[in-house]
Structure 1
Amino acid sequence: MSITVVVADDQELVRGGFSMILDAQPDIDVVAEAADGIEAVALVREHRPDVLLLDIRMPRMDGIEAARLVGKETKVLMLTTFDLDDYVYDALRAGASGFLLKDVRRDDLVNAVRVVAAGESLLAPTVTSRLIAEFTSRPAAASVSAERLAALTVREKETLALIARGLSNAEIAAELVVSEHTVKTHVSNVLTKLGLRDRVQAVIVAYETGLAVPGS
């Protein structure tokens, strides 16, 4: 079964280029294109795509607001021309499962769509650096208090801390000397107990609660 995608970008050539690259893949089907956030939201609700490829800066409604509106209905993969975009943190909090720069290589774009469609999260290395930098300039916050981490077992807290370091399931398994299946169970438990959608939100929670510290 094909991965269905809506591509939203206010630049027609960029939008068309991404659509052409993705539509050329045997397992990906671009079902619609949008020129702004309002169109993107309407098309997501019409077509129910697996992935919304969404520009962060668009007229009428930007990508962050669009992600807030449809982030629970589809996986959102955001694109920007700026590796130090001021809105990276807000975009991830709004519901984005992935974040890439517009100069991403063709193969990496295709892979990102597949990864996000499969329920994983994906961040460009420069975006990860930006995200961590945000935590050094913001007070510890808001949505998930440190007390809620009490719901996690010791092993689950260790797993969350390693997720925050950007480790894959295989790398976490090696670090904890357990099987990948066990790690998948720990990850699933962490997301369920904390009410999180994916690993991106888990990273945010780990830093907000002080379980992970920038530079560690």
Structure 2
Amino acid sequence: MSVRVVVVDDQTLVRQGVRTLLELAGLDVVGEADDGAAALEVVRADPPDVVLLDLRMPRFDGIWTLRRLAEEGVDVPVLVLTTFDDDELLLEALRAGARGYLLKDVTVERLAAAVRTLADGGTLVAPSVTDRLLRAIRSGPSPAGPAPAAVQDLTERELEVLRLVASGCSNREVAGLLHLAEGTVKNHVSTILLKLGARDRTNAVLRALHEGILG
């Protein structure tokens, strides 16, 4: 089944170039938008499998778009694609609900793989920013307030699942690696979110990193 993508970028040439590359990689680009407001209209009309989102846009930027999607309860995975290698911007995007983050110098193969990872329920952050992200998380405040006491109650199996989720694995991939049913993994993820007081997988990983429970 083809993965359906919406590309959001204020630069027409960039949008068209990304569209062409994704289509050559076998992905189905079903919409384009030049800012957040236009992106919301496109996504509302026909929700895609993944939104590919630039952060720095005039008028309604990427952070605004992420927050509005969350406020409206639109559960579409968002992969940020930007030229700005900025730790604070990355953290803000993840806290606002982005499930992946890549820089625009990424290869076509890597970009297509990232889109498929998000469409399959995974998360992804470019390796080039991971170490700095971890340092920023651990030296700053918790992503969404203090973690609940239940954070200490994660079972060994839940920790195994959480570590694989943090590495970008989808539920299906976690199930294969741990020899579990995919439904069992989904139940574990739901329990982890509840125990961590997290709204989604990305927020759960941020909390876990901040609390140092991933080792």
TM range (shorter): 0.7 to 0.9
Once residues 155 and 43 of structure 1 are traced to their aligned partners in structure 2, the CA distance between those partners, rounded to angstroms, is: 40
Separation in structure 1 between the aligned mates of residue 178 and residue 156 of structure 2, nearest angstrom: 17
TM-score (norm 1): 0.81
Root-mean-square deviation over aligned CA pairs: 2.9
Equivalent in 203, 206, 209 of residue 204 of structure 1: 206
1:187–1:24 Cα change, 3 Å:
same
**Which of 51, 74, 77 does residue 75 from structure 1 map onto?**
77
1: CA distance, partners of 2:151 / 2:11: 43
Letter in 1 for 2:17: G
Does the residue aligned with 2:81 lie in a helix, a strand or coil? strand
Deviation of the 1:103 alpha carbon: 0.8
Higher mean Cα deviation, 79-88 or 103-112? 79-88
5+ residue gaps, structure 1: none
Task: State how many pairs are aligned.
Answer: 206
Of residues 202-211 and 122-131 in structure 1, the stretch that sits farther from structure 2 once superposed is 202-211
**SS of 2:167's equivalent?**
coil
Superposed structure 1 runs of 4+ greater than 6 Å apart: none
Distance change >3 Å, CA 136–CA 30, structure 1 → 2: same
TM-score, structure 2 as length reference: 0.81
Aligned counterpart in structure 2 of residue 94 of structure 1, from 88, 93, 96: 96
> Per-residue displacement from partner, 1:64-84 (whole Å, max 9, x unpaired)?
110122244211000111223
Amino acid of the residue matched to residue 112 of structure 1? A
Question: How has the CA–CA distance of structure 1 residues 114 and 141 changed in structure 2, closer, same or farther, with 3 Å as cutoff?
Answer: closer
Contact 1:52/1:77 (CA < 8 Å) preserved in 2? yes
Give the match for residue 123 of structure 2: 121
Q: Distance in 1 between matches of 2:141 and 2:194?
A: 25
The percentage of counterpart residues that share the same residue type is 44
CA drift at 1:150: 4.4
Contact persistence 2:138–2:211 (CA under 8 A) = no
The residue type equivalent to 1:8 in the other structure is V
* Structure 2 unpaired stretches of 5+: none
Alpha-carbon contact 2:117-2:168 (below 8 Å) kept: no
